[in-house]
Chain A
Amino acid sequence: MKLNERSVAHYATCNSPPDKTGFLFKKGERNTAYHRRWFILKGNMLFYFEEKESREPVGVIVLEGCTVELCESESEEFAFAIKFDCVKAKVYKMAAENQAAMESWVKALSRASFDYMRLVVKELERQLEEVQEEARSSQAKSMLKKHQLQLQGATFSLQNATITGPSQEGVSSRENGVSWSKPPSVPNGVSNTQGDCSERGDGVRPHPVPPRRKTNGGSLESPVSPGTGCFSKLHDWYGKEVAELRIEWLQSHGCRQNESPNS
Protein backbone atom coordinates (compact mmCIF):
# COMPACT_ATOMS: atom_id res chain seq x y z
CA MET A 1 0.00 0.00 0.00
CA LYS A 2 1.29 3.42 -0.92
CA LEU A 3 1.76 6.16 1.63
CA ASN A 4 2.72 9.80 1.10
CA GLU A 5 6.01 8.93 2.78
CA ARG A 6 7.96 12.03 1.97
CA SER A 7 5.30 14.25 3.50
CA VAL A 8 4.88 11.95 6.47
CA ALA A 9 8.63 12.13 7.11
CA HIS A 10 8.42 15.88 6.76
CA TYR A 11 5.73 15.97 9.44
CA ALA A 12 8.23 14.33 11.79
CA THR A 13 10.85 16.99 11.43
CA CYS A 14 8.85 20.10 10.65
CA ASN A 15 8.55 22.93 13.11
CA SER A 16 5.33 21.80 14.79
CA PRO A 17 6.23 20.91 18.37
CA PRO A 18 6.50 17.19 19.12
CA ASP A 19 4.53 15.63 21.95
CA LYS A 20 7.48 13.69 23.26
CA THR A 21 11.03 12.90 22.28
CA GLY A 22 13.72 10.67 23.71
CA PHE A 23 15.88 7.61 23.35
CA LEU A 24 14.30 4.21 23.60
CA PHE A 25 15.46 0.71 22.83
CA LYS A 26 13.47 -0.96 20.13
CA LYS A 27 13.57 -4.64 19.42
CA GLY A 28 14.53 -5.19 15.82
CA GLU A 29 12.06 -6.68 13.40
CA ARG A 30 14.49 -9.06 11.77
CA ASN A 31 17.54 -8.71 13.94
CA THR A 32 15.97 -9.33 17.32
CA ALA A 33 18.50 -7.37 19.29
CA TYR A 34 17.39 -4.16 20.92
CA HIS A 35 18.59 -1.06 19.09
CA ARG A 36 18.83 2.36 20.61
CA ARG A 37 16.85 4.80 18.56
CA TRP A 38 15.78 8.44 18.81
CA PHE A 39 12.00 8.66 19.01
CA ILE A 40 9.70 11.55 18.15
CA LEU A 41 6.03 11.31 19.03
CA LYS A 42 3.76 13.67 17.11
CA GLY A 43 0.03 13.26 17.29
CA ASN A 44 -0.74 9.61 16.56
CA MET A 45 2.58 8.96 14.82
CA LEU A 46 5.68 7.57 16.50
CA PHE A 47 8.77 8.17 14.40
CA TYR A 48 12.15 6.61 15.07
CA PHE A 49 15.55 7.74 13.86
CA GLU A 50 18.92 6.08 13.86
CA GLU A 51 20.46 9.04 15.62
CA LYS A 52 19.14 12.20 17.20
CA GLU A 53 20.73 14.19 14.39
CA SER A 54 19.37 12.06 11.57
CA ARG A 55 17.26 13.98 9.12
CA GLU A 56 15.13 11.12 7.91
CA PRO A 57 13.28 8.65 10.11
CA VAL A 58 14.06 4.97 9.81
CA GLY A 59 10.40 4.28 10.30
CA VAL A 60 7.08 5.27 11.80
CA ILE A 61 4.51 3.47 13.91
CA VAL A 62 0.94 4.63 13.34
CA LEU A 63 -0.54 4.46 16.82
CA GLU A 64 -4.22 4.35 15.97
CA GLY A 65 -5.98 1.42 17.61
CA CYS A 66 -3.02 0.30 19.68
CA THR A 67 -2.66 -0.62 23.30
CA VAL A 68 0.46 -0.05 25.34
CA GLU A 69 1.43 -2.54 28.00
CA LEU A 70 4.22 -3.07 30.42
CA CYS A 71 5.94 -6.32 29.74
CA GLU A 72 8.40 -8.72 31.19
CA SER A 73 11.63 -9.10 29.36
CA GLU A 74 14.57 -11.33 30.25
CA SER A 75 17.11 -9.05 28.71
CA GLU A 76 15.66 -5.60 29.25
CA GLU A 77 14.49 -3.70 32.25
CA PHE A 78 11.76 -1.03 31.88
CA ALA A 79 10.21 -2.85 28.96
CA PHE A 80 6.87 -2.14 27.41
CA ALA A 81 5.05 -3.13 24.25
CA ILE A 82 2.87 -1.46 21.65
CA LYS A 83 0.24 -3.93 20.51
CA PHE A 84 -2.40 -3.88 17.82
CA ASP A 85 -5.68 -5.64 17.56
CA CYS A 86 -5.63 -6.92 14.03
CA VAL A 87 -4.82 -10.40 12.76
CA LYS A 88 -1.11 -11.18 12.64
CA ALA A 89 -0.49 -7.81 14.17
CA LYS A 90 2.95 -6.61 15.04
CA VAL A 91 4.08 -6.24 18.58
CA TYR A 92 6.62 -3.51 19.02
CA LYS A 93 8.80 -4.26 21.98
CA MET A 94 10.47 -1.28 23.54
CA ALA A 95 12.54 -0.51 26.58
CA ALA A 96 13.21 2.75 28.33
CA GLU A 97 16.36 3.80 30.12
CA ASN A 98 14.76 4.12 33.54
CA GLN A 99 11.49 3.69 35.41
CA ALA A 100 10.39 7.31 35.08
CA ALA A 101 11.03 7.36 31.34
CA MET A 102 9.13 4.12 30.89
CA GLU A 103 6.10 5.41 32.78
CA SER A 104 6.17 8.68 30.93
CA TRP A 105 6.35 7.01 27.52
CA VAL A 106 3.64 4.50 28.31
CA LYS A 107 1.33 7.30 29.39
CA ALA A 108 2.08 9.44 26.37
CA LEU A 109 1.68 6.61 23.89
CA SER A 110 -1.57 5.32 25.29
CA ARG A 111 -3.11 8.76 24.90
CA ALA A 112 -1.70 9.42 21.46
CA SER A 113 -4.59 8.26 19.33
CA PHE A 114 -6.70 10.58 17.24
CA ASP A 115 -9.79 9.04 18.81
CA TYR A 116 -8.64 9.94 22.29
CA MET A 117 -7.89 13.52 21.28
CA ARG A 118 -11.29 13.75 19.63
CA LEU A 119 -12.99 12.58 22.84
CA VAL A 120 -11.22 15.16 24.95
CA VAL A 121 -12.00 17.94 22.46
CA LYS A 122 -15.70 17.00 22.37
CA GLU A 123 -15.85 16.98 26.15
CA LEU A 124 -14.26 20.41 26.44
CA GLU A 125 -16.49 21.74 23.70
CA ARG A 126 -19.51 20.59 25.68
CA GLN A 127 -18.13 22.11 28.88
CA LEU A 128 -17.47 25.43 27.19
CA GLU A 129 -21.01 25.56 25.85
CA GLU A 130 -22.33 24.91 29.35
CA VAL A 131 -20.18 27.63 30.83
CA GLN A 132 -21.14 30.10 28.09
CA GLU A 133 -24.83 29.34 28.50
CA GLU A 134 -24.53 29.93 32.25
CA ALA A 135 -22.72 33.20 31.68
CA ARG A 136 -25.40 34.32 29.25
CA SER A 137 -28.28 33.53 31.57
CA SER A 138 -26.70 35.21 34.55
CA GLN A 139 -25.89 38.22 32.38
CA ALA A 140 -29.51 38.27 31.28
CA LYS A 141 -30.68 38.06 34.89
CA SER A 142 -28.52 40.96 35.97
CA MET A 143 -29.66 43.00 32.98
CA LEU A 144 -33.27 42.40 33.85
CA LYS A 145 -32.55 43.57 37.38
CA LYS A 146 -31.02 46.76 36.07
CA HIS A 147 -34.01 47.36 33.81
CA GLN A 148 -36.36 46.88 36.73
CA LEU A 149 -34.43 49.27 38.93
CA GLN A 150 -34.49 51.93 36.23
CA LEU A 151 -38.17 51.29 35.69
CA GLN A 152 -38.98 51.78 39.34
CA GLY A 153 -36.93 54.94 39.51
CA ALA A 154 -38.67 56.32 36.45
CA THR A 155 -42.21 55.56 37.59
CA PHE A 156 -41.39 57.03 40.97
CA SER A 157 -40.59 60.34 39.36
CA LEU A 158 -43.75 60.14 37.26
CA GLN A 159 -45.80 59.64 40.38
CA ASN A 160 -44.22 62.58 42.15
CA ALA A 161 -45.09 64.80 39.25
CA THR A 162 -48.81 64.00 39.21
CA ILE A 163 -49.83 63.52 42.83
CA THR A 164 -51.04 66.57 44.70
CA GLY A 165 -52.65 64.93 47.67
CA PRO A 166 -51.36 65.39 51.15
CA SER A 167 -50.07 61.90 51.38
CA GLN A 168 -47.29 62.80 49.02
CA GLU A 169 -46.02 65.87 50.82
CA GLY A 170 -42.52 65.96 51.99
CA VAL A 171 -39.40 64.68 50.58
CA SER A 172 -39.79 61.03 51.10
CA SER A 173 -42.46 58.61 50.16
CA ARG A 174 -42.97 55.01 50.92
CA GLU A 175 -43.26 52.11 48.61
CA ASN A 176 -43.54 48.59 49.76
CA GLY A 177 -42.35 49.54 53.15
CA VAL A 178 -39.08 50.87 51.92
CA SER A 179 -38.55 54.53 52.50
CA TRP A 180 -36.87 56.49 49.81
CA SER A 181 -35.18 59.78 49.99
CA LYS A 182 -35.86 61.72 46.86
CA PRO A 183 -32.77 61.77 44.74
CA PRO A 184 -31.54 65.10 43.41
CA SER A 185 -32.13 64.00 39.85
CA VAL A 186 -34.15 61.11 38.59
CA PRO A 187 -33.96 59.76 35.08
CA ASN A 188 -36.90 60.79 32.93
CA GLY A 189 -39.13 57.98 31.83
CA VAL A 190 -37.78 54.61 30.99
CA SER A 191 -34.59 55.53 29.30
CA ASN A 192 -33.31 53.87 26.20
CA THR A 193 -30.57 52.26 28.13
CA GLN A 194 -27.44 51.21 26.40
CA GLY A 195 -27.09 48.46 28.90
CA ASP A 196 -25.47 50.36 31.69
CA CYS A 197 -27.48 51.32 34.69
CA SER A 198 -26.74 55.02 34.72
CA GLU A 199 -26.24 56.86 37.95
CA ARG A 200 -29.47 57.55 39.71
CA GLY A 201 -28.05 59.99 42.15
CA ASP A 202 -26.99 59.59 45.71
CA GLY A 203 -28.98 58.16 48.50
CA VAL A 204 -31.20 55.88 46.47
CA ARG A 205 -31.41 52.45 47.90
CA PRO A 206 -32.01 49.63 45.49
CA HIS A 207 -35.63 48.65 45.35
CA PRO A 208 -36.38 45.07 46.35
CA VAL A 209 -36.72 42.98 43.23
CA PRO A 210 -40.35 42.11 42.60
CA PRO A 211 -41.29 38.44 42.57
CA ARG A 212 -40.21 36.60 39.43
CA ARG A 213 -42.72 36.74 36.72
CA LYS A 214 -43.10 33.40 35.01
CA THR A 215 -43.39 33.47 31.28
CA ASN A 216 -45.23 30.79 29.36
CA GLY A 217 -41.96 29.08 28.62
CA GLY A 218 -41.03 28.73 32.25
CA SER A 219 -38.22 30.57 33.91
CA LEU A 220 -37.10 34.02 32.93
CA GLU A 221 -33.89 32.71 31.52
CA SER A 222 -35.32 30.34 28.99
CA PRO A 223 -36.54 32.78 26.34
CA VAL A 224 -33.01 33.98 25.79
CA SER A 225 -32.15 32.22 22.62
CA PRO A 226 -28.94 30.29 22.70
CA GLY A 227 -26.13 32.01 21.01
CA THR A 228 -27.64 35.43 21.58
CA GLY A 229 -24.49 37.28 22.28
CA CYS A 230 -26.21 40.03 20.31
CA PHE A 231 -27.12 42.75 22.75
CA SER A 232 -29.77 44.40 20.63
CA LYS A 233 -31.74 41.16 20.45
CA LEU A 234 -31.49 40.67 24.18
CA HIS A 235 -32.48 44.30 24.66
CA ASP A 236 -35.56 43.99 22.47
CA TRP A 237 -36.67 40.94 24.32
CA TYR A 238 -36.20 42.57 27.70
CA GLY A 239 -37.75 45.76 26.41
CA LYS A 240 -40.99 43.83 26.06
CA GLU A 241 -40.61 42.40 29.56
CA VAL A 242 -40.01 45.84 30.96
CA ALA A 243 -43.03 47.33 29.19
CA GLU A 244 -45.26 44.64 30.63
CA LEU A 245 -43.78 44.97 34.09
CA ARG A 246 -44.29 48.71 33.92
CA ILE A 247 -47.99 48.38 33.14
CA GLU A 248 -48.40 45.90 35.95
CA TRP A 249 -46.63 48.16 38.37
CA LEU A 250 -48.56 51.26 37.40
CA GLN A 251 -51.84 49.43 37.70
CA SER A 252 -51.01 47.95 41.07
CA HIS A 253 -49.87 51.31 42.32
CA GLY A 254 -52.93 53.12 41.01
CA CYS A 255 -55.09 50.73 43.00
CA ARG A 256 -53.15 51.13 46.20
CA GLN A 257 -53.78 54.81 46.57
CA ASN A 258 -57.51 54.43 46.72
CA GLU A 259 -57.66 51.33 48.82
CA SER A 260 -56.15 50.37 52.07
CA PRO A 261 -52.91 48.69 51.33
CA ASN A 262 -52.74 44.97 51.73
CA SER A 263 -49.91 43.76 53.83
Chain B
Amino acid sequence: MRFNEKELVFLSRQPSERAAELGMRGPKKGDVVKRRVVKLIVNFLFYFRTDEDEPIGALLLEQCRVEREDDQVFSVVFLDEAERKYLFECDSQEQCVEWIDAIIKASYEFMRKNLIYYRTEIHRLTGKDPLEQYGISDETRFQVNSGLPPLPPAAT
Protein backbone atom coordinates (compact mmCIF):
# COMPACT_ATOMS: atom_id res chain seq x y z
CA MET B 1 0.00 0.00 0.00
CA ARG B 2 1.48 3.35 -0.97
CA PHE B 3 1.70 6.16 1.52
CA ASN B 4 3.22 9.63 1.61
CA GLU B 5 6.33 8.67 3.52
CA LYS B 6 8.16 11.97 3.21
CA GLU B 7 5.22 13.81 4.69
CA LEU B 8 4.98 11.29 7.49
CA VAL B 9 8.67 11.71 8.30
CA PHE B 10 8.11 15.46 8.32
CA LEU B 11 5.24 14.93 10.74
CA SER B 12 7.54 12.93 13.02
CA ARG B 13 9.65 16.05 13.49
CA GLN B 14 6.77 18.16 14.76
CA PRO B 15 6.22 18.88 18.47
CA SER B 16 4.98 15.76 20.15
CA GLU B 17 2.27 15.19 22.70
CA ARG B 18 4.67 12.94 24.55
CA ALA B 19 8.16 11.57 23.92
CA ALA B 20 10.44 9.28 25.87
CA GLU B 21 13.06 6.61 25.57
CA LEU B 22 11.35 3.30 26.21
CA GLY B 23 12.10 -0.34 25.77
CA MET B 24 10.18 -1.53 22.73
CA ARG B 25 9.55 -5.02 21.50
CA GLY B 26 7.99 -5.82 18.17
CA PRO B 27 5.12 -8.24 17.69
CA LYS B 28 7.01 -10.98 15.87
CA LYS B 29 8.20 -14.08 17.60
CA GLY B 30 11.84 -13.64 18.27
CA ASP B 31 11.67 -9.87 18.51
CA VAL B 32 13.66 -8.59 21.45
CA VAL B 33 13.39 -5.47 23.53
CA LYS B 34 15.35 -2.53 22.14
CA ARG B 35 15.77 1.00 23.43
CA ARG B 36 13.82 3.35 21.23
CA VAL B 37 12.83 7.00 21.34
CA VAL B 38 9.06 6.87 21.13
CA LYS B 39 7.10 9.96 20.08
CA LEU B 40 3.36 10.44 20.14
CA ILE B 41 2.22 12.94 17.50
CA VAL B 42 -1.47 13.29 16.62
CA ASN B 43 -2.65 9.69 16.10
CA PHE B 44 0.77 8.27 15.26
CA LEU B 45 3.37 6.63 17.43
CA PHE B 46 6.80 7.12 15.86
CA TYR B 47 9.81 5.20 17.04
CA PHE B 48 13.47 6.06 16.46
CA ARG B 49 16.84 4.56 17.21
CA THR B 50 18.14 6.55 20.13
CA ASP B 51 20.77 8.36 18.08
CA GLU B 52 18.90 8.94 14.85
CA ASP B 53 16.65 11.70 13.55
CA GLU B 54 14.65 9.67 11.10
CA PRO B 55 12.06 7.32 12.50
CA ILE B 56 12.42 3.60 11.91
CA GLY B 57 8.67 3.29 11.85
CA ALA B 58 5.25 4.61 12.68
CA LEU B 59 2.12 3.07 14.12
CA LEU B 60 -1.27 4.58 13.26
CA LEU B 61 -3.19 4.45 16.51
CA GLU B 62 -6.69 3.80 15.18
CA GLN B 63 -8.62 0.60 15.85
CA CYS B 64 -6.16 -0.42 18.51
CA ARG B 65 -6.25 -1.36 22.14
CA VAL B 66 -3.77 -0.32 24.83
CA GLU B 67 -3.36 -2.50 27.88
CA ARG B 68 -1.33 -2.64 31.05
CA GLU B 69 0.80 -5.74 30.87
CA ASP B 70 2.78 -5.27 34.02
CA ASP B 71 3.71 -2.60 36.54
CA GLN B 72 5.77 -0.72 34.04
CA VAL B 73 4.83 -2.35 30.77
CA PHE B 74 2.00 -1.61 28.36
CA SER B 75 1.07 -3.13 25.04
CA VAL B 76 -0.52 -1.85 21.87
CA VAL B 77 -2.56 -4.32 19.90
CA PHE B 78 -4.39 -3.74 16.63
CA LEU B 79 -7.90 -5.12 16.42
CA ASP B 80 -7.33 -6.86 13.11
CA GLU B 81 -4.37 -8.82 14.48
CA ALA B 82 -5.06 -9.17 18.15
CA GLU B 83 -2.34 -11.77 18.76
CA ARG B 84 0.40 -9.41 17.70
CA LYS B 85 1.47 -7.21 20.57
CA TYR B 86 3.81 -4.27 20.53
CA LEU B 87 5.32 -4.06 24.02
CA PHE B 88 6.65 -0.93 25.66
CA GLU B 89 8.71 -0.93 28.84
CA CYS B 90 8.63 2.22 30.93
CA ASP B 91 10.91 3.43 33.69
CA SER B 92 8.17 3.78 36.27
CA GLN B 93 4.56 2.91 36.98
CA GLU B 94 3.63 6.54 36.70
CA GLN B 95 5.17 6.85 33.27
CA CYS B 96 3.40 3.68 32.18
CA VAL B 97 0.01 4.99 33.29
CA GLU B 98 0.61 8.33 31.59
CA TRP B 99 1.53 6.72 28.29
CA ILE B 100 -1.50 4.46 28.33
CA ASP B 101 -3.76 7.44 28.97
CA ALA B 102 -2.11 9.51 26.27
CA ILE B 103 -2.35 6.79 23.63
CA ILE B 104 -6.01 6.06 24.36
CA LYS B 105 -6.78 9.72 23.84
CA ALA B 106 -4.68 9.93 20.71
CA SER B 107 -7.11 8.39 18.29
CA TYR B 108 -9.23 10.41 15.92
CA GLU B 109 -12.16 8.17 16.74
CA PHE B 110 -11.80 8.90 20.47
CA MET B 111 -11.92 12.63 19.75
CA ARG B 112 -14.93 12.18 17.54
CA LYS B 113 -16.82 10.42 20.34
CA ASN B 114 -15.99 13.26 22.71
CA LEU B 115 -17.14 15.83 20.21
CA ILE B 116 -20.44 14.07 19.65
CA TYR B 117 -20.96 13.84 23.41
CA TYR B 118 -20.22 17.55 23.98
CA ARG B 119 -22.38 18.55 21.04
CA THR B 120 -25.30 16.48 22.26
CA GLU B 121 -24.98 17.73 25.85
CA ILE B 122 -24.75 21.38 24.89
CA HIS B 123 -27.76 20.95 22.66
CA ARG B 124 -29.65 19.24 25.46
CA LEU B 125 -28.85 22.00 27.95
CA THR B 126 -29.27 25.01 25.71
CA GLY B 127 -31.43 23.88 22.81
CA LYS B 128 -28.75 25.12 20.45
CA ASP B 129 -26.34 23.25 18.23
CA PRO B 130 -22.90 24.62 19.10
CA LEU B 131 -21.50 23.79 15.66
CA GLU B 132 -23.94 26.00 13.83
CA GLN B 133 -22.06 29.19 14.56
CA TYR B 134 -19.02 27.69 12.83
CA GLY B 135 -21.01 26.56 9.85
CA ILE B 136 -19.93 22.95 10.27
CA SER B 137 -23.04 21.35 11.66
CA ASP B 138 -23.56 19.35 8.47
CA GLU B 139 -20.12 17.83 8.32
CA THR B 140 -20.34 14.05 8.26
CA ARG B 141 -17.56 13.67 10.78
CA PHE B 142 -19.59 15.50 13.44
CA GLN B 143 -22.78 13.54 13.01
CA VAL B 144 -24.33 11.61 15.83
CA ASN B 145 -25.95 9.10 13.52
CA SER B 146 -23.20 6.56 13.41
CA GLY B 147 -25.76 3.96 14.35
CA LEU B 148 -24.78 4.04 17.98
CA PRO B 149 -26.17 6.18 20.78
CA PRO B 150 -23.78 8.95 21.81
CA LEU B 151 -21.59 7.77 24.65
CA PRO B 152 -19.77 9.79 27.27
CA PRO B 153 -15.99 9.74 26.92
CA ALA B 154 -14.56 6.39 27.99
CA ALA B 155 -12.84 6.34 31.38
CA THR B 156 -10.00 4.07 30.28
Are the C-beta atoms of A17 and B118 separated by less than 8 Å? no
Write the residues of chain B forming the contact surface with A, with a CB cutoff of 8 angstroms.
1-11, 14, 42-43, 54-60, 62-64, 78-81, 108-109, 111-112, 114-115, 118-119, 121-122, 125-126, 130-131, 134, 136, 139-142, 146-147
Interface size class of A (residues with CB under 8 A): 35 or more
| Interchain residue pairs with CB less than 8 A apart (19) | A1-B58, A2-B56, A3-B8, A5-B3, A7-B78, A7-B79, A8-B3, A16-B63, A29-B2, A43-B62, A65-B14, A66-B7, A107-B139, A114-B111, A121-B115, A121-B118, A125-B118, A128-B118, A132-B125
Across chains A and B, which 4 residue pairs bring their CB atoms closest together, nearest first? A59-B2, A2-B57, A43-B108, A86-B10
Are the C-beta atoms of B7 and A65 separated by less than 8 Å? yes
A11 within 8 A of B: yes
User: Which residue of chain B lies nearest to A8 when distances are taken between CB atoms in the complex?
Assistant: B60
Interface of A is mostly: mixed
A90 to B10 CA separation, bound complex (whole angstroms): 12
Distance from B95 Cβ to chain A, minimum over Cβ atoms (Å): 23
Known: A2-B57, A10-B78, A59-B1. A44 touches B11 (CB 8 A): no
Known: A1-B54, A19-B141. A84 touches B10 (CB 8 A): yes
A213 within 8 A of B: no
Write the residues of chain A forming the contact surface with B, with a CB cutoff of 8 angstroms.
1-11, 14, 16-20, 29, 42-45, 56-62, 64-66, 84-90, 107-108, 111-115, 117-118, 120-121, 124-125, 127-128, 131-132, 135
Provide the residues of chain A in CB contact with B64, threshold 8 Å: 7
A17 to B143 CA separation, bound complex (whole angstroms): 10
Provide the residues of chain B in CB contact with A127, threshold 8 Å: 118, 122, 130
